[in-house]
Structure formats: structure tokens, C-alpha cells
Structure 1
Amino acid sequence: MSFPLLEAQGLILRFGTTTALDDVGIAVHPGEVVAIVGESGSGKSTLLRVLSGQLVPAAGQVTYRDAQGQPHLLHEMGEAALRRLMRTDWGFVHQNARDGLRMGVSAGGNVGERLMAIGARHYGDIRAQATEWLRRVEIDEARIDHLPRTFSGGMQQRLQIARTLVSRPRLVFMDEPTGGLDVSVQARLLDLIRGLASELNIAVLLVTHDIAAARLLAHRLMVMRHGRVVEQGLTDRVLDDPQHPYTQLLVSSVLAA
């Protein structure tokens, strides 16, 4: 197996007297989708913020390997290097699409900005790629000059995905990407994410409380509770034969719903 694209060991983080992360480790390999699941307050979103460089842990380290396979300690990188990483090799899909979009910029401009950040300069090529990506995420290309605030919530989320993936990042962080959307919209969005992740061979680190979404998208599953990893493994194995009582409770609650 290849070296992990992203690897963390011994992560510890406390907010006052609350332990948010307690000796957490994780590895994500190229092209792999890993889901982190757990109830609210389990530490999963905090872990995502640490792994994406938004929070600094009290202990432990996060290592990222670049396209040449060279390791870099994430929290020793400067702010400029982190911003460059987020524009190129990485992407982030927020639960609220408005946090990942420029609401005063057209749909095509949102996608085009990401291309310009990696060096694209030809207006015709940028607009053509933006048009193609709107099609790929099932947005009518006639809406290319419309502002995102005129879109539905599901369309805004699909636009955020187009903006994130147009530069073909190697790793994408997704924080509850289907949260707050209608069930039918969620299903279409999950199918879209699954297809694009497979087609582009990108690694995805997905935070979700939705077991069904995790089963559909993830190769591996990590279950968190009170800042600790209580179970992890291949998704089907964990969900079909959960070993930890908390995982059993999560799975049974979904079956009973």
C-alpha cells in the first residue's frame, strides 16, 4: 500500500476542562474515502479542523505528503504555505455552502477563482471549464452568470463542490456536506460526491452523523465518542458487525428509525 497522504498520531486538544481530542490517530491514503462518525460533541468536527490546519493540537502531530511523496509537519508550516496548500492540493466543503462560496460573485466566477488561484489566466478557457463543471454538478449552464444567493440550498452545495474540485485537489475535507438538506436532495448530492471522488481518484475525509451517508461513500469508518476513537475499520465490517457498545447503539438507532 502507498504511504498515507495524511497521517496523525497522538492528537490531544482540550477546551478548558473539556477534552476534545484524546490520543487520536488517523491515516488517509490516496484515493481513499474515510468517514468520521459520532454524535454531536464527539470530537469529529474538531478533529477535522486540526487535520486541516485550522486548529493547533496541544500534543501530537499531523504529517502531510506532497505529490513528490515528501512529508511535511502540518502545524510547522507557515500561514502562507497553508493557504497555498488549501488552494492547490487540498479542498474543503463546508456544511453551510455560504461559508465556501463568494456570494457576491457569479457561479462561474466562483469556479473560475479557484482555477485562477492555481495559475489559470485565459478567460475563455476558465469560462469553458466553469461551464463544464456546472454541468458536472447538475447546474444549468445558463445560470453561469447568476449569483449563488439566487440558488437553492442544494444548488449552492453543488456549486461549492464544483468550486472545490475544479482544481483537482488530492485531498478534500467535507464537514457534514448534506446537513440541513431535504432527504431527496441529500441522496442526489451523495451520489454526485461518490461519482466524482471515484472518477477523480481523490482522497476524502468526511465528517458526518449520517450512518447511511458513511456507508454509501466511505471505504473506512472511524467512530468517535467523547474525543476518543472507539472503533475503526472497513465500513461494511464496522456497520455489519459493530464491536463497541457505542457503535452498536449508533447502528441500532439507524435501523430503528
Structure 2
Amino acid sequence: MTPLLSAHGLTKTYGPRTACAGVDIDVTEGEVLAIVGESGSGKSTLLSMLAGELAPDSGEVRYRDREGRVRPLAEIGPAELRALARTDWGFVRQDAAQGLRMAVSAGGNVGERLMGLGARHYGTIRSQALDWLGRVEIAADRIDDPPTRFSGGMRQRLQIARNLVTAPRLVLMDEPTSGLDVSVQARLLDLIRRLTGELGLAVIIVTHDLAVARLLSHRIAVMRAGRVVETGLTDQVLDDPADAYTQLLVSSVLAA
């Protein structure tokens, strides 16, 4: 099957520092790919390039659109790229405040994406917003509350609803559980796993937490110093790592 999103030879440098060096990666519908590694390994830089938010110095990202055309992101104009980001793609950010309109109600945050698709009927928009708030376990009576009144876990769940309401094909996630209490993390992970399975999404998730990668992903890519040093099925890589760096990562978790 042709990948939904693929990257070939992605390279990005900042002065003397190489953030990504010749990275190849791909994801297909219904697949969750985890990108793991220590801080500074290049995970977030890679995700920004995959999202079209950061131009690589070399290499390219290709996306297979709904018509089946495989197109380099560099050849998609800014207006169309913004439209894709509101419809076909979702981006769940580590800091929910960066992915939400903090002064807009919960319902407005969800409904705004629908309006981007042309929805104008207030009752329909509110009904769909209520449905999605329920799906991410936010009570209906919180629909008119702004995210400033929500806990960190609730903000992340609202951000997920905002991204999924338009039925995207691809969702990018940048450390979505980082900074949350353990019990809140567990609840959010269960939600993400359930929704990605139900909707058949292609998901690329960046995380430093190997337990998160094991729980959510089918495949894993391990990054070190801007390079992918090992890829494979998640359980296979984590249970029998071939690369010395991956072995060190896994052993450090076991020793903790």
C-alpha cells in the first residue's frame, strides 16, 4: 500500500547543529507510528517538517491526497496547506494552549474546525460539538466554558476533539501526555488508543516515554542525534532491540 505520508532524506541543520540527518519515514492508514528518543534527538524538528510547518534543508515529504495523488508538500501552496491542516490533518500539541483558542468556549473550539469546512448552521455545529465533547469525556454542561477553566487533562481531551471533528486522515501528536499526572495520563492514553482504533487514523506520535510508545503504536522509530537508528514493529524493537542506543534506552527504563 502506498503510504499516506512519507519522508525521504529529511535534513535540517541549525548552524553547527544537525537536528535531522537523512531521515526516511512513512505511515499508512490505520497505523500508529511512534518516534522516540531523548530530548534533543530531533523528534520535534522531524514532526514540524512532516507537518509542513518547517522546510527541510534537503529531502522531501510526500502526501497521498483523497484523490490518490502523491504530492510533495513543497509543491502544495500555502493556502491549500492551511486547508489540509484544518481538514485532512490534525496536530495535537504538547502544550494544549498552543492548539486551542483559549478565550473561545469549548464548543467554539470544536465548532471552529467545522466552520472551516463551510458549516454555518448553529444548531448542527453545536450538536456535533456536543457529540465530540462526549466522545472525549467532557460533560455537556462544560460546552460554554473556555479552556482556561479546564484542567490540563481536559484541555488535551478538548484539543483531541477539536482535531478529530473534521474526520482527518492523519494526526500528528507531540508528547500529548507530557506533564500530566500519572492517573490523568492513563485516562488520556486509553482515550487516544480507543479513538485511533475506531477511526482508523494514521497517527505519528512523538514521545520520550517508551511505555506510551508500546501502548499506542504499531511501529516505532528510534532517533539519536538527528538520525533514525532503528525501526520496526514496536514490541519487537522494545523486546529485542538491535541497536546499542535502543538497548540503552530500554535498559534505562527497566532500571528505573
Structure 2 counterpart of 1:79? 78
Structure 1 counterpart of 2:125? 126
> How far has the Cα of 1:28 moved from its partner?
0.6
Structure 1 counterpart of 2:67? 68
Structure 2 counterpart of 1:169? 168
Aligned 1:94-243 pairs, distance under 5 A: 94-243=93-242
Q: Distance in 2 between matches of 1:253 and 1:209?
A: 12
Equivalent position SS for 1:68: coil
- Superposition RMSD in Å: 0.7
> How far has the Cα of 1:243 moved from its partner?
0.6
Equivalent position SS for 1:205: strand
Unaligned runs of 5+ in 1: none
Aligned 1:88-99 pairs, distance under 5 A: 88-99=87-98
What letter matches 1:140 in structure 2? Answer: A
Equivalent position SS for 1:134: helix
Aligned 1:14-33 pairs, distance under 5 A: 14-33=13-32
Give TM-score scaled by structure 1 length. 0.98
Equivalent position SS for 2:12: strand
Q: Distance in 2 between matches of 1:60 and 1:164?
A: 28
Equivalent position SS for 1:27: strand
Q: Distance in 1 between matches of 2:145 and 2:58?
A: 46
What letter matches 1:222 in structure 2? Answer: A
> How far has the Cα of 1:86 moved from its partner?
0.2
> How far has the Cα of 1:51 moved from its partner?
0.6
Equivalent position SS for 2:158: helix
Unaligned runs of 5+ in 2: none
Q: Distance in 1 between matches of 2:108 and 2:226?
A: 39
Moved more, 245-254 or 219-228: 245-254
Q: Runs of 4+ in structure 1 displaced over 3 angstroms? A: none
> How far has the Cα of 1:76 moved from its partner?
2.2
Residues 161-195 of structure 1 show CA distances to partners (whole Å, capped at 9, x for unaligned) of: 00000111000010000011001100110110010
Equivalent position SS for 1:254: helix
Q: Distance in 1 between matches of 2:238 and 2:147?
A: 37
> How far has the Cα of 1:77 moved from its partner?
1.6
Aligned residues: 256
Structure 1 counterpart of 2:8? 9
Q: Distance in 2 between matches of 1:121 and 1:72?
A: 31
Q: Distance in 1 between matches of 2:146 and 2:55?
A: 35
What letter matches 1:31 in structure 2? Answer: G
Equivalent position SS for 1:172: strand
> How far has the Cα of 1:256 moved from its partner?
1.3
Q: Distance in 1 between matches of 2:15 and 2:254?
A: 36
Residues 90-127 of structure 1 show CA distances to partners (whole Å, capped at 9, x for unaligned) of: 01000000000001110000000011111211111111
Equivalent position SS for 1:105: coil
